[in-house]
């Protein structure tokens, strides 16, 4: 009983360690995702603010050089915004993968808990059967002894 239960405990311990690692990674990924969202928010705000300011200045007319600089800057901002959105998308995929793995590990741990419980119950019932058989044998010996003494 001890050997098989010890193996089960060792396996469960490894699974729980993996679970803790996944929790750590999940928290780290969620923190990074928040940072990406903050960056995206700042970029979008900057983009809209820059557009508004440029439109106000541009009402009176604008030189070709300023227009070229504006377009270049807006393109860079839009690429940065797209890049941050892509990072958030990839981060969401990683988070979902970790969550899926986390659920699977929890299920495995639960299965090993059930196996361990069943194993213990099996050995307890076997022990009780042996005790019952010993008691029956002792009762038979006592009965035979009583009959012989009569």
pLDDT (tens digit per residue) in 61-108: 777 677 788 888 889 999 999 999 999 999 999 999 999 999 999 998
Q: To 10 degrees, what angle do helices 2-58 and 64-149 make?
A: 160
The pTM score is 0.65
Biggest CA-to-CA distance, the chain: 130
Question: What is the number of other CB atoms lying within 10 angstroms of the CB of residue 58?
Answer: 12
Q: Read off the tokens for 85.
A: 């959105």
Q: What pLDDT, in 10s, does the model give residues 109-145? A: 888 888 888 877 777 777 777 767 777 777 777 777 7
- Three-class DSSP category at 62: coil
Closest CA to 109 of 121, 98, 120, 117: 117
Q: What is the pLDDT of residue 22?
A: 92
In angstroms, the first-to-last Cα distance of the chain is: 45
CB 28 within 8 A of CB 135: no
Two tokens at 61? 């007319």
Domains and CATH numbers, the chain: 2-149 (1.10.287.1700)
DSSP, collapsed to helix, strand or coil, labels residue 73 as: helix
Q: Check residue 1 and give its pLDDT.
A: 45
């Amino acid at each position: 009983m001890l050997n098989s239960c010890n193996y089960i405990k060792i396996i469960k311990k490894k699974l729980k360690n993996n679970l803790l690692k996944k929790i750590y990674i999940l928290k780290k990924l969620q923190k990074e995702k928040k940072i990406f969202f903050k960056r995206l928010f700042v970029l979008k705000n900057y983009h809209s603010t820059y557009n508004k300011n440029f439109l106000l200045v541009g009402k009176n007319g604008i030189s070709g050089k300023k227009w070229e600089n504006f377009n270049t800057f807006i393109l860079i901002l839009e690429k940065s915004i797209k890049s941050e959105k892509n990072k958030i998308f990839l981060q969401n995929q990683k988070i979902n993968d970790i969550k899926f793995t986390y659920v699977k590990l929890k299920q495995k741990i639960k299965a090993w808990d059930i196996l361990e419980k069943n194993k213990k119950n099996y050995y307890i019932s076997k022990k009780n059967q042996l005790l019952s058989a010993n008691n029956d044998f002792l009762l038979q010996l006592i009965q035979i002894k009583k009959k012989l003494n009569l």
